[in-house]
Amino acid sequence: MYAVIKTGGKQYKVAAGEKIKIEQIPADVGQEIVIDQILAVGSGAEITVGTPLVAGATVVAIVLSQGRHDKIRIFKMRRRKHYQKRQGHRQNYTELQISSVNA
């Protein structure tokens, strides 16, 4: 059984037992969280699509860690104009272990 969840402005396809990295959420390591914004739930060939959310569906997950991704380097340049700009960014994330998908 799998589900499509919405969190942090993004959509993720998850199944029980998977590990995913999502946008950072305020939760402690080891805490169990319940995600209730489920866009679709499927099992094999069957699929239930919400309008916009599936009523009564939840995903239970355990917070494994909080961290930061690798640095992304941004380099902008205009040729012949003597313009160069360098910038870097590290995005925060929360790593989740999906425990169960309830439909």
Q: How far apart are alpha carbons 37 and 53 in whole angstroms?
A: 6
Residue-averaged pLDDT of the chain: 96
Q: How confident is the model at residue 4 (pLDDT cuts 50, 70, 90)?
A: very high
* For range 25-50, the mean pLDDT: 94
Q: Does the structure show a pLDDT above 90 at 64?
A: yes
Q: Does the structure show a pLDDT above 90 at 103?
A: no
Cβ burial 9-25 (10 Å sphere, 16+ → b, else e): eeebebebeeebebeee
